[in-house]
Amino acid sequence: MNIIDGKAVSKAVRTRVAQETAALKEKGVTPGLAVIIVGEDPASQVYVRNKEKACEEVGFYSEKFALPESTSQEELNALVKELNARRDINGILCQLPLPKHLDDKEVINLINPIKDVDAFHPVNVGAIMIGDYNFLPCTPAGVMELIHAAGVEVSGKKAVVIGRSNIVGKPMAMLLLHENATVEITHSKTQNLSEITADADILVAAIGKAKFVTSDMVKDGAVVIDVGMNRDENGKLCGDVDFEAVKDKCAYITPVPGGVGPMTISMLMQNTLTAAKIQNGLK
Ligand code: GUN
């Protein structure tokens, strides 16, 4: 069993982004990211703080818009429109989930697709489907980086994704398909799930249930990628995979924490750099 070190791979991506940013700055371009957060959700506040820190680390300009819980849809929409028009802002990210009275689809649809560094806008989702894209959503992109870093050959392999969210499961399946895996998407209504996962050469768990993937669900020598971020019965951070039970069965596994988690913000940095290049005619 080999543990894929997400911290190390994430650091390598950030170093590369920082180097490219330094070169871009010599041409007079500083990538700029706007991060919008509405309300007081503590988890979202931690994510946003980490995104700001990462921007500083790679040399980006970043601006945080912390709006009160009482913000109206019109006010939020007006901010997005203002950021769409700003030359110094290359990427716009609206931290989800939004408070209940706000419509995330409406906000996502308003972001100029060329500034949509989350790759949530339907134009970017469609581009991914076709395989002709500028941005990949951060979590699936991070998973592919980890698979590549481990030197795992994807072509011709059977890949199973557990979870079908728009942010992770669906685009994850598409990225694996682009690399010629034979992909199966499974979810809460899937029958005989264990039989399907036990046949997977590459298994990606993104269901949000603590230690859901048990040893009997994993094939000997499989590559197991854990996208989960849960708390176990003792309040300890854990993934969707029962790491201790599964680790000796697989060829490669990502830990939680220290696997997929550190990758997502690094991929956001990469997308923001790409956005800055495109918007300045440098790509
Ligand atoms: N909330 C949880 N994950 C994400 C993400 O990748 N992007 C945004 N904008 N919000 C999130």
The pLDDT tens digits for 221-242 are: 999 999 999 999 999 999 999 9
Q: Average pLDDT of 32-47?
A: 97
Q: How far is the CA of 95 from the centre of ligand 1 (A)?
A: 5
Q: What is the pLDDT of residue 182?
A: 99
Helices (H), 69-168: 73-85, 104-110, 122-130, 138-149
Q: Mean pLDDT across the chain, nearest whole number?
A: 98
Most informative mutation of 36, 51, 95, 269 for ligand 1 (most atoms within 8 A of CB): 95
For residue 96, which atom of ligand 1 is closest to its CA? Answer: 10
CA-to-CA dists, residue 138 to 22, 126, 144, 212, 233, angstroms: 22, 16, 10, 23, 29
| Residue bearing the CA closest to ligand 1, atom 9 | 95
Q: How far is the CA of 148 from the centre of ligand 1 (A)?
A: 23
What does the block give as tokens for 223? 């590559």
Most informative mutation of 33, 48, 98, 118 for ligand 1 (most atoms within 8 A of CB): 118
The partner residues of 67 in beta bridges, in order of sequence, read 38
What does the block give as tokens for 97? 């989930």
The partner residues of 35 in beta bridges, in order of sequence, read 64, 93
Q: How far is the CA of 104 from the centre of ligand 1 (A)?
A: 11
Who lines ligand 1 at CB under 6 A? 93-96, 118, 138
For residue 138, which atom of ligand 1 is closest to its CA? Answer: 6
Q: How far is the CA of 198 from the centre of ligand 1 (A)?
A: 30
Q: How confident is the model at residue 14 (pLDDT cuts 50, 70, 90)?
A: very high
- The yes-or-no verdict on residue 42 having pLDDT over 90 is yes
Q: What is the pLDDT of residue 155?
A: 98
The partner residues of 32 in beta bridges, in order of sequence, read 61
Give kind and range of the element (H or E) at residue 183: strand 182-186
Q: How far is the CA of 96 from the centre of ligand 1 (A)?
A: 5
Give the residue numbers marked as catalytic. 51, 95, 118
Most informative mutation of 96, 116, 272 for ligand 1 (most atoms within 8 A of CB): 96
Q: Average pLDDT of 84-111?
A: 98
- The yes-or-no verdict on residue 272 having pLDDT over 90 is yes
What does the block give as tokens for 108? 């996502």
User: 3-class DSSP state for residue 135?
Assistant: coil
Exposed, middle or buried: residue 276 (CB in 10 Å: 0-12, 13-18, 19+)? buried
- The yes-or-no verdict on residue 251 having pLDDT over 90 is yes
Cα(23)–Cα(21) distance, integer angstroms: 5
For residue 97, which atom of ligand 1 is closest to its CA? Answer: 1
Q: What is the pLDDT of residue 283?
A: 86
Cα(2)–Cα(151) distance, integer angstroms: 12
Query: Above pLDDT 70, what percent of the chain?
Result: 100
Q: Average pLDDT of 96-105?
A: 98
Q: Average pLDDT of 89-115?
A: 98
Q: Average pLDDT of 23-36?
A: 98
Q: Average pLDDT of 200-214?
A: 98
Per-position DSSP letters for 189-250, written without gaps between them: T-TTHHHHHTT-SEEEE-S--TT-B-GGGS-TT-EEEE---EE-TTS-EE-SB-HHHHTTT-
Q: Average pLDDT of 25-30?
A: 98
